[in-house]
Amino acid sequence: MQPTLQGTAVENFREYLRIPSVHPNINYDDCVAFVQKQAKSLDLPVQLFEPSPKHPILVITWEGTEPEKPAILLNGHMDVVPVFPEQWTYPPFDAHMDEKGNIYARGSQDMKCVNIQYLEAIRRLKLNGIRLKRTIHVSFVPHEEVGGSPGMKEFSQSQNFKNLNIGFALDEGIASPNNDFLVFYGERSIWHIEIKCTGKPGHGSLLPDNTAGEKFTKIINRFMEFRAKEKARLKDPSLKIGDVTSVNLTIVEGGVQRNVIPKELNANFDIRIATDVNHEDFEKMIQEWIRESGEGITCSFPEKNPCVENTKLDNTNPFWVAFKQACDENGMNLEKGIFTGGTDSRYVRAAGIPAIGFSPIINTPVLLHDTDEFLNKDVFLRGIEIYEKLIPAVANV
């Protein structure tokens, strides 16, 4: 990679990191201006969609020589999670680079690096006079960090998205602390469940029947017993966290005074359902727990993702075959798995499009959403070289 191109790539990365597109109450105007400037520097058109006011989606397009073929989507989100600046060694939106070449900033791993790597790889391919068969769309989307709405969730269901004619997508993965590149072909379904337990109120010195607290204890115990069983399964070295169903109690609400038995207690759970679990059976199990725990208990689902088919990693998916072959030719060892959290890939897969989660970050501590998030300059630059191989591989299928 030419020194001038290296410098441009790093500076573009750091400039993007300095935009504080941080929750809550994000103003995406500077992100829009930045992406439009990048599109101009690449001499490529950019479309601006706004499924919801102040939640822009930008798509830079590099038309292929056979534009009638289904296109390739390279997706990334513009938003980043909140920070606690006093806990950081360097200000989290300064993009400080130390003497080792480590660039410290919120979003350096999750996931502003990947979008810039896409663009810089395209820049090099264009400068080398390379044309690809399939059209490439590079998307910059909002609000992934809060569930993808308004953002890819709505966009993936829109006519504007259908008009892009996507046949395969790449999205974010996660950093790897060793020399293995992590590849994700599916995601667990996110269910957020709120349990409300109602019962007889009264004086805190008495022992009345049918209290909310008794029911509350029973239902929580059911969830936590299930959690313990799933956690025990991880003793099997062949299983990772993405292979089991996670259950965590996240919010507890209720009570008015220490000496008053409340008439209602509420519990919220974050559940990530493993991809091999039948959703109907899982919900029936929860309803049975509720029935066993007593009358006056209800549940609701603030979020209830449907079951989405995993992307196939076999010969039936020519894009995967091309992706893996390019990795093999470049000496990259891949470790495949189910993503632990939730990304915009789930909405792309739900639209019937095969998608792979991949961030070319190795030998790096996993610091997404953490203090002192950083990415080393050389690791970042190598990622561009990797995409220089991967993008033509999948685009020329």
| 14 and 158 share one domain | yes
Which ranges in the chain belong to alpha helices (H)? 3-17, 29-42, 112-127, 152-155, 159-163, 212-233, 279-293, 318-329, 345-350, 377-395
Query: CB within 8 A of 56, min separation 6: which ones?
Result: 28, 31, 32, 48, 49, 50, 142
**pLDDT value for 98:** 98
User: 264 — phi, psi (to 5°)?
Assistant: -150, 140
For residues 211 and 200, membership in a common domain is answered with yes
Active-site annotation holds for 194: no
Kindly give the parts of the chain with pLDDT less than 70: 1-3
55, 154: one domain: yes
Dist. CA 281–CA 340, nearest whole Å: 22
Q: So what's the pLDDT on residue 1? A: 56
Comparing C-alpha atoms, which of 334, 318, 330, 315 is closest to residue 389?
Answer: 330
**25-55 burial, b for 16+ CB within 10 Å, e for fewer?**
ebebeebbebbeebbeebebebeebebeeeb
Asked if residue 11 and residue 88 are part of one domain, the reply reads: yes
The catalytic position among 110, 120, 144, 243 is 144
Same domain, 364 and 264: no
Q: Which residues is 47 bridged to in the sheet?
A: 59
- The residue range of the domain holding 251 is 189-274+276-304
314 a catalytic residue: no
Q: Are residues 133 and 210 in the same domain?
A: no
Which residue carries 């006079």 as its tokens?
129
Q: For residue 72, what pLDDT is reported?
A: 99
pLDDT tens, position by position, 83-118: 999 999 999 999 999 999 999 999 999 999 999 999
Model pLDDT, residue 51: 85
Query: What pLDDT shows up at residue 304?
Result: 96
Are 145 and 266 found together in one domain? no
Domain total in the chain? 2
In the numeric block, which tokens belong to residue 194? 């709120």
Question: Residue 280 has which token pair?
Answer: 């109907």
Q: Please give the C-alpha separations between residue 135 and each of 56, 60, 353, in angstroms, as whole numbers.
A: 22, 11, 15
Domain boundary among 284, 304, 324: 304
Rounded CA-CA distance 66/135 in Å is 7
Residue 160 and residue 84 share a domain: yes
CB 312 within 8 A of CB 354: yes
Whichever domain contains 284, its CATH number is 3.30.70.360
SS3 23: coil
User: Which pLDDT score is estimated for 2?
Assistant: 62
Write phi, then psi, for 184 (nearest 5 degrees). Answer: -120, 130
Shared domain for 236 and 285, answered yes or no, is yes
CB-based contact 183:357 (threshold 8 Å): yes
Polymer length in residues for the chain: 397
Helix (H, G, I), strand (E, B) or coil at 103: strand
Residue 356 DSSP label: E
Q: 93: which residues sit within 8 A by CB, 6+ positions away?
A: 17, 18, 19, 20, 22, 83, 105, 106
Q: What is the pLDDT of residue 341?
A: 87
Co-location of 115 and 229 in the same domain:
no
Instruction: Specify the amino acid at residue 346.
Output: R
Count of alpha carbons within 13 angstroms of residue 233, beta-carbon side: 15
Distance CA 392, CA 382 (A): 16
Looking at residue 108, which CATH number applies to its domain?
A: 3.40.630.10
Left, alpha or beta for 251 (phi > 0: left; psi -120 to 50: alpha)? beta
Q: How far is CA 220 from the centre of its chain?
A: 28
φ and ψ of 157, to 5 deg: -100, 0
Q: Which residues contact 80 (CB under 8 A, 6 or more apart)?
A: 21, 22, 23, 106, 107, 110, 112, 145
Residues 211 and 325 in one domain: no
User: pLDDT (tens digit, 9 = 90+) per residue, 354-386?
Assistant: 999 999 999 999 999 999 999 999 999 999 999
Q: Taking every pair of C-alpha atoms in the chain, what is the biggest distance, in angstroms?
A: 82
**Nearest in space to 100 (alpha carbons), one of 378, 365, 372, 363:** 378
Signed CA dihedral, 368, 374, 379, 381: sign only: positive
Q: Are residues 198 and 228 in the same domain?
A: yes
Q: Which of 79, 145, 154, 388 is catalytic?
A: 79
